[in-house]
């Protein structure tokens, strides 16, 4: 099976046309600051640059990527930078819905078991009818300020509801991560393309002082 | 770096920390922006208190509180874009995913564990064992007093648990992963090892009987004050607010890469508790984290207390062997 059929999940590939008259050395020189980050190792050999990152801080502009290969290729339409970047975060986000669906299934099973165990317990030791509870007190101060009187305590949830654990949050998070994956797969692809393009064309806005400050202190 | 003397301590000797409110920057921009970011915090707090005080019983429910909490956090996320405190703290997609993963664990696995081994279960067992009743006179107090006491007593416990985590190695191992965050964003409070998240959630509230509405009001302090611990928004918080309540400024100092600064501002909501015990440092820090800003991955966060705990045990056993060594040495 062609690995590309599935590895698009965590790979981001693309290309950026290089400005005419820009040689490979100059192109990589322009990209070099992106790799001078904490936890980044990189190697330049001719028309190829490889890098890998560990424990990269979110302040690193390429923090979403863990490794990658950048090559400069010549074609009939000029030179271009081709990149193939690997992101474990994308893979993690792709798999996260499965994890939360698993948690949902486990929650349902545990909840059912808890309800059944409580019922069995009640069957073995039937609870005596509880005496009617007194109405909840209300301070005169709250009455004067117009707060609503508390409900009768007998209105509380039945015991079975108390033993049930809702699986809804797990389903909600499974959906959130599915949506986040789609957003991230598109967004990170656009962002890295635009970052490389701006760097290569020299149009990247000057870094704000916070970035410079952090990099200086980290180095 | 020379640092600044605060009491007996030198703050900011290892990493930059701004000390003193007069040195903390204000909100920049037009009059409207300054107005909004000066009044937002107190207006939201008082509006939520009024809402929970007067809402009919059919609305004053936990599900409404969850809905308001989610909506409020979404609004704060938007404010992070409009008026960030630091550009270097801007939320990235990867950070959002990571933070939400921990939030998800909190809403699912940790909540489920709480059903079996949480503080309510423990307190119920203690009460049954000692034949104690809940402290019911608490319910006769005015709602706002009940709410304040619930919030303050919980935070008081949390202060000591948190301070214990910074002072006792086994507890520190559970808390350390949370200190590897290098920026503050709205869901960063959830980032950490699940054992720590479970421990920090323990409270003594189960010993008291209080009105459900008082619990909702107490939750408002957590939402409309505690949430600002981890957020990338600059506010001009009023002077009284900064005196009573924890702020992003305080909590950024706590997360600073400076060791002494990180041993301050332990309270979650009521910074006045830190003032009482002399651990408060008023100020702000931008450079956060541990080991010079190394980001801790999710697998390492999950394993850290156990892997580091195992290393510590081995080291201790090794040290005790070393301690015995001199006795095995031949006498001169």
A141 close to B (CB below 8 A): yes
On whether residue B10 sits in a domain, the answer given is no
Our count of domains for chain A comes to 1
On whether residue B305 sits in a domain, the answer given is yes
Q: Per the structure block, which two tokens stand in for B241?
A: 């607010």
On whether residue A75 sits in a domain, the answer given is yes
Give residue A53's domain range: 4-89+187-211
Q: What is this model's ipTM? A: 0.87
pLDDT band at B327 (very low <50, low <70, confident <90, very high): very low
**N-term to C-term CA, chain B:** 48
Q: Specify the pTM.
A: 0.88
The beta-carbon neighbor of A210 closest among B53, B92, B286 is: B286
Q: What angle do CA B38, B262, B183 make, to 5 degrees?
A: 55
A56 close to B (CB below 8 A): yes
Residue A208 pLDDT: 47
A212 close to B (CB below 8 A): no
Q: What is the CATH number of the domain that holds A73?
A: 3.30.160
The beta-carbon neighbor of B93 closest among A145, A172, A184 is: A184
Helix (H), strand (E) at residue B211: none
Q: For strand A40-45 and strand B4-6, is the pairing parallel, antiparallel, or unpaired?
A: unpaired
What are φ and ψ of residue A138, in 5° steps? -140, 125
Q: Per the structure block, which two tokens stand in for A182?
A: 């789609």
On whether residue B40 sits in a domain, the answer given is no
pLDDT band at B130 (very low <50, low <70, confident <90, very high): low
On whether residue A133 sits in a domain, the answer given is no
Summarize the confidence of residues B139-149 as an average pLDDT.
90
Per-residue pLDDT tens over the stretch B35-88: 999 999 999 999 999 999 999 999 999 899 999 999 999 999 999 999 999 999
Looking at the predicted structure, is the pLDDT value of residue B213 above 60? yes
On whether residue A79 sits in a domain, the answer given is yes
On whether residue B15 sits in a domain, the answer given is no
Q: Do residues A10 and A4 lie in contact, with contact meaning Cβ atoms separated by under 8 Å?
A: no
On whether residue A80 sits in a domain, the answer given is yes
A150 close to B (CB below 8 A): yes
On whether residue A59 sits in a domain, the answer given is yes
Residue B326 pLDDT: 41
Looking at the predicted structure, is the pLDDT value of residue B259 above 50? yes
Per-residue pLDDT tens over the stretch B174-184: 999 999 999 99
Give residue B54's domain range: 49-313
A27 close to B (CB below 8 A): no
Q: Per the structure block, which two tokens stand in for B277?
A: 């015990």
Low-confidence ranges of chain A (pLDDT < 70): 127-133, 153-160, 205-219
On whether residue B31 sits in a domain, the answer given is no
Our count of domains for chain B comes to 1
Residue A216 pLDDT: 46
Residue B188 pLDDT: 95
What are φ and ψ of residue B17, in 5° steps? -135, 130
Q: Do residues A51 and A40 lie in contact, with contact meaning Cβ atoms separated by under 8 Å?
A: yes
B-chain CB neighbours of A152 within 8 Å are: none
Residue B18 pLDDT: 96
B-chain CB neighbours of A188 within 8 Å are: 93
Helix (H), strand (E) at residue A39: none
On whether residue A195 sits in a domain, the answer given is yes
On whether residue B196 sits in a domain, the answer given is yes
Residue A210 pLDDT: 46
């Amino acid at each position: 099976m062609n690995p590309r059929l599935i590895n698009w999940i965590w790979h981001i590939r693309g290309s950026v046309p290089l400005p005419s008259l820009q040689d490979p050395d100059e192109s990589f020189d322009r990209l070099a600051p992106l790799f001078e980050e904490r936890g980044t190792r990189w190697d330049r050999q001719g028309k190829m640059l490889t890098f890998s990152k560990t424990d990269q801080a979110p302040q690193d502009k390429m923090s979403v990527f863990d490794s990658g290969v950048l090559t400069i290729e010549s074609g009939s339409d000029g030179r271009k930078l081709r990149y193939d970047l690997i992101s474990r975060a994308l893979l993690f986000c792709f798999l996260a819905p499965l994890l939360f669906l698993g948690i949902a299934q486990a929650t349902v099973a545990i909840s059912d078991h808890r309800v059944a165990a409580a019922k069995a317990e009640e069957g073995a030791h039937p609870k005596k009818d509880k005496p009617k509870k007194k109405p909840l007190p209300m301070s005169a101060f709250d009455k004067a300020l117009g707060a609503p009187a508390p409900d009768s305590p007998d209105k509380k949830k039945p015991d079975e509801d108390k033993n049930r654990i809702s699986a809804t949050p797990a389903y909600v998070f499974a959906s959130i991560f599915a949506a986040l994956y789609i957003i991230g797969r598109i967004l990170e692809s656009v962002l890295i393309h635009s970052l490389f393009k701006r760097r290569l064309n020299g149009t990247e806005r000057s870094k704000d002082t916070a970035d410079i400050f952090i990099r200086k202190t980290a180095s | 770096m020379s640092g600044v003397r605060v009491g007996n301590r030198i703050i900011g000797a290892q990493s930059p920390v701004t000390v003193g409110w007069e040195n903390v920057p204000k909100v920049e921009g037009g009059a409207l922006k300054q107005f909004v970011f000066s009044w937002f915090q107190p207006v939201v707090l008082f509006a939520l208190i009024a809402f929970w005080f007067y809402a009919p019983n059919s609305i004053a429910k936990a599900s409404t509180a969850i809905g308001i909490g989610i909506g409020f956090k979404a609004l704060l996320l938007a404010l992070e874009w409009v008026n960030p405190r630091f550009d270097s703290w801007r939320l990235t997609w990867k950070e959002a995913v990571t933070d939400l993963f921990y939030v998800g664990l909190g809403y699912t696995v940790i909540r489920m564990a709480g059903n079996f081994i949480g503080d309510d279960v423990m307190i119920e067992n203690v009460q049954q064992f000692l034949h104690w009743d809940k402290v019911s006179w608490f319910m006769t107090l005015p709602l706002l007093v009940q709410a304040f006491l619930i919030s303050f007593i919980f935070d008081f416990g949390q202060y000591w648990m948190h301070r214990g985590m910074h002072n006792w190695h086994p507890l520190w191992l559970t808390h350390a992963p949370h200190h590897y965050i290098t920026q503050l964003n709205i869901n960063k409070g959830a980032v950490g090892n699940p054992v720590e998240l479970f421990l920090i959630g323990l409270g003594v509230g189960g010993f008291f009987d209080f009105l459900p509405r008082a619990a909702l009001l107490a939750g408002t302090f957590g939402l409309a004050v505690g949430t600002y611990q981890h957020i990338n928004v600059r506010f001009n918080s009023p002077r009284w607010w900064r005196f009573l309540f924890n702020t992003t400024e305080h909590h950024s100092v706590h997360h600073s890469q400076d060791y002494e600064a990180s041993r301050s501002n332990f309270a979650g909501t009521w910074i006045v508790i830190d003032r009482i015990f002399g651990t408060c440092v008023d100020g702000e820090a931008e450079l956060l984290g541990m080991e010079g800003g190394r980001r801790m991955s999710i697998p390492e966060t999950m394993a850290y207390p156990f892997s580091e705990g195992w290393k510590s045990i081995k080291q201790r056993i090794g040290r005790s062997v070393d301690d015995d060594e001199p006795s095995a040495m031949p006498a001169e």
